[in-house]
């Protein structure tokens, strides 16, 4: 099963821009490769990523096969209030994975 790592600062000052880094384990099979018998390997990638801050969307991304295996994404957001940041990845073959991180805003 997938495993995700997230880096969000534990504390921040109100109004600060915080950097967020996410990494999830996933093969990101492009659909352009073949196995050793020459049989094409079907595409199996993460297609969507979403980040919500206390239920409000901060950003979302559409991923394509050109994203490397174990997708790594970095972006930023404004620390507005204490709460949780929720990250969701969805993809082919019903793949879905969520992870959250809490932040205290002073």
Asked if 14 touches other proteins (CB under 8 A), the answer is: no
CA 68 to chain centre: 13
Question: x/- site string to other proteins, residues 45 to 64, per CB under 8 A?
Answer: --------x--xxxxxxxxx
Interface residues for other proteins in 62-91 (CB under 8 A)? Answer: 62-69, 71-78, 80
3-class DSSP state for residue 2? coil
Burial of 74 (0-12, 13-18, 19+ CB in 10 A): exposed
d(CA 17, CA 68): 27
Decide if residue 42 touches other proteins (CB under 8 A).
no
Kindly tell me which of 50 and 99 has the beta carbon lying closer to other proteins.
50
Residue 42: both structure tokens together: 């079907």
Contacts with other proteins, residue ranges (CB under 8 A)? 17-18, 30, 32-34, 53, 56-69, 71-78, 80
């Amino acid at each position: 099963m997938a495993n995700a790592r997230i880096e969000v600062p534990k504390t921040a000052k109100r109004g600060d821009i915080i950097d967020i880094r996410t990494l999830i384990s996933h093969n990101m099979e492009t659909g352009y490769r073949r196995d050793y018998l020459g049989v094409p390997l079907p595409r199996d990638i993460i297609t969507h990523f979403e980040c919500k801050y206390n239920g409000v969307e901060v950003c979302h991304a559409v991923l394509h096969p050109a994203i490397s295996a174990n997708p790594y994404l970095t972006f930023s957001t404004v620390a507005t209030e204490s709460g949780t940041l929720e990250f969701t990845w969805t993809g082919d073959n019903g793949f879905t994975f969520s992870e959250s991180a809490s932040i205290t805003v002073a």
